């Protein structure tokens, strides 16, 4: 098209584009999001219980905190003694990971990951064996 519009040969236009301007012709990549969404909507329309069959999960870090209340941390002191102080909540150096799985009705399994354990497919397969069996039609 450019060669015809400029009344030049295709080789001349190609040389200008590639060698002089360093331009390349690229095609857009196909991203199947819209096709996948349409398929999911069609599946949900044909099976109203589709979303009741989905189980998903997540993991999060949990930190230990000092849970003593203001009253629990009171102390008797002399009139001239300094009053005890309680710091605001601070994250502790003690932390553990919680993995949790849920479906459309709520939590179906949760557990704290043992220290030093690596979270990967092998770990999740082991968790799957510990989870309670669900009454499901799938």
Domain boundaries, the chain: 54-130
| Per-position DSSP letters for the chain, written without gaps between them | -HHHHHT--HHHHHHIIIIIS-----PPPP-THHHHHHHHHHHHHH-TTGGGG--EEEEEEEE------TTTT-----TTSPPP--PPP---S-EEEEEEEEETTEEEEEEEPPTT---SHHHHHHHHHHSPPP----
124, two tokens: 């999740």
pTM comes to 0.47
133, two tokens: 């069996």
Beta-carbon-side half-sphere exposure of residue 63 (alpha carbons within 13 Å): 7
When pLDDT is cut at 50, 70 and 90, the band that residue 80 belongs to is confident
Q: What is the mean pLDDT of residues 95-117?
A: 91
When pLDDT is cut at 50, 70 and 90, the band that residue 137 belongs to is very low
Q: What is the mean pLDDT of residues 33-44?
A: 86
> Mean pLDDT highest for which of 26-35, 59-68, 108-117?
108-117
Average pLDDT, whole number, for the chain?
79
Q: Which residue has the higher pLDDT, 136 or 2?
A: 2
When pLDDT is cut at 50, 70 and 90, the band that residue 89 belongs to is low
When pLDDT is cut at 50, 70 and 90, the band that residue 138 belongs to is very low
- The answer, yes or no, to whether residue 13 has pLDDT greater than 90, is no
């Amino acid at each position: 098209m450019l060669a015809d519009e400029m009344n030049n040969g295709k080789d001349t236009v190609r040389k200008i584009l590639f060698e002089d301007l360093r331009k390349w012709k690229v095609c857009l990549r196909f991203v199947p999001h819209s096709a996948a969404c349409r398929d999911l909507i069609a599946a949900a329309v044909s099976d109203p219980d589709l979303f009741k069959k989905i189980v998903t999960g997540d993991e999060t870090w949990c930190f230990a905190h000092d849970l003593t209340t203001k009253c629990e941390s009171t102390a008797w002191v002399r009139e001239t003694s300094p009053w005890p102080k309680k710091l605001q909540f601070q994250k502790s150096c003690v932390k553990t990971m919680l993995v949790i799985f849920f479906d459309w009705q709520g939590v179906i399994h949760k557990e704290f990951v043992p220290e030093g354990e690596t979270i990967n497919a092998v770990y999740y397969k082991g968790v799957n064996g510990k989870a309670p069996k669900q009454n499901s039609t799938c």
